[in-house]
Amino acid sequence: MSDPTEDPASTEDEQTEAEQPELDTTEDEQTEAEQPEPDQPKGEQTEQSETLRSYFQQMTVIRRFELKAQEMYQRAEIGGYCHLNVGEEATVVGLMDAMEERDYLFANYRVHGYAIARGLDPGHVMAELFGRTDGLAGGWGGSMHLADAESRFMGGYGIVGGQMPPATGAAMAVSHRQEAGPESEAVMCLLGEGTSATGAFHETLNLASLWGLPIVFVVINNRVGMSTPVEQASAEPELFRKAESYRFEGRRVDGDDPIAVRDAARAALKQAREEHRPFLLETMSYRLRGHSVVDPARYRTDEERAELAAKDLLPRLRSRLIEDGVLSEQEADTIERDADETIEQAVEVAGASESPDPSDLFTNAYSTEVANAPRAMPGDRVITL
């Protein structure tokens, strides 16, 4: 793994050949004879191979889900906002694999992949994007506000940094009801690199350290916030260092390597639960598409686009797994076909689901009882009592 204290450019440059996925072997160049038999992948099936195979499968499902979400948005099946995880799939599966069921997850608006990797049904995720009753939030949340309390997936948030105070509050609740130790729950709070320049970021890091909270803040550094490169948005572009000023640990990891992400997140969560101390993990990846599905990313030059396409982690992982004998070409094809089928089924589930009843518009909108009428406000309850 690359030295996490290096800056992004030199980190990539300094990766050794052994660490770098091979980029120069295209699928076309491989001959039939070089392919392992479908049922006998070469070499022993180590645990690592099984893990990589499973990661490739999950990443493929997430990628196909996201591309389908873009298509469904263009067909006006999905409204509102829609932000994709394209290019960040290794980070997504690595982080989710590191979490225990008892841990809580808070996220920003780029959240579909996390819901799927946390084990939620792609059909229910797609139905939420469609705004239908079978959606994770009954169709009221949409793409940015997926949530499932049962799996402790505490939601995506549309306000930049809006997820950080409630995540910190959840970690405070955990610290009050449980002793620090290996069995403790922990909280993972995801954010983009642009968010690390906001007030909520600094306020929550400060309190998490002062109060000794079991929380891992994960900065998913995809290098650009809307159209602004991180170097122009943050005086300290090595974002994991921001933990230092609040006297806790931070670390940067290669976000294109799912195993490196998983191991770093596991170590961070372990420390959070065993010491009830916060941790700041920074994952380095690239957002391959625009900020949201309606952003054509005109701030990128043609050269940058070509560079990004060449960096796409999914075809690189595919080639590497085939080359290492972890997968055969046919198995990779099957994984991709199955993923397409899963996503087609998800679209069917979403399309067949009812739209919410407009008379329910104010149900669950306030924590206090409010008459279910468009003009009602929480204070009305006091007046009518």
Ligand X SMILES: Cc1ncc(C[n+]2csc(CCOP(=O)(O)OP(=O)(O)O)c2C)c(N)n1
Which residues form the interface with ligand X (CB under 6 A)?
Answer: 110, 158-160, 191-195, 222, 225-226, 291
Answer for the pair 56, 317: CB distance below 8 angstroms, yes or no: yes
Question: Please, what is the end-to-end C-alpha distance for the chain in angstroms?
Answer: 63
C-alpha 89, offset from chain centre: 7
Q: Of the two residues 126 and 191, which places its CB atom closer to ligand X in the complex?
A: 191
Q: Which is nearer to ligand X, 224 or 269 (CB)?
A: 224
Minimum distance, C-beta of residue 290 to ligand X, in the bound complex (Å): 10
- CB-count burial class (<10 Å; 0-12, 13-18, 19+) for 185: buried
Query: Cβ-count burial of 86 within 10 angstroms (0-12 exposed, 13-18 middle, 19+ buried)?
Result: buried
Q: How far is the CB of 291 from ligand X (least distance, A)?
A: 6
Shortest distance in whole angstroms from residue 154 CB to ligand X: 18
What gap in Å lies between CA 31 and CA 11, rounded to an integer? 33
56 vs 240, beta carbon nearer ligand X: 240
At 153, which helix (H) or strand (E)? Answer: strand 153-156
For ligand X, the closer of residues 84 and 126 by Cβ is: 84
Question: What's the min distance (Å) between Cβ of 175 and ligand X?
Answer: 26
Residue with smaller CB distance to ligand X, 52 or 219: 219
163/319 with CB nearer ligand X: 163
Shortest Å, Cβ 345 to ligand X: 28
Least CB distance to ligand X at residue 362 (A): 24
Nearest 10 degrees: Cα torsion 273, 275, 276, 279? -80
36, amino acid identity: P
Residue nearest to ligand X (CB): 192
Q: Provide Rg for the chain, Cα atoms.
A: 22
In the complex, the smallest distance separating the C-beta of residue 113 from ligand X, rounded to whole angstroms, is 12
CB of 347 to ligand X, least distance (A): 25
CB closer to ligand X, 123 vs 194? 194
Based on CB atoms, which residue is closest to ligand X, 56 or 109? 109
Please name the residues in contact with 121: beta carbons below 8 A apart, sequence gap of 6 or more. Answer: 346, 349
Rounded CA-CA distance 303/5 in Å is 28
To ligand X, the closest distance from the beta carbon of 153 in angstroms equals 18
β-strands 215-221, 228-229: how paired? unpaired
Report the distance separating Cα 88 and Cα 97, nearest Å. 15
| SS3 of residue 134 by DSSP | coil
Residues 240/281, Cβ–Cβ less than 8 Å: yes
**230 versus 350: smaller Cβ distance to ligand X:** 230
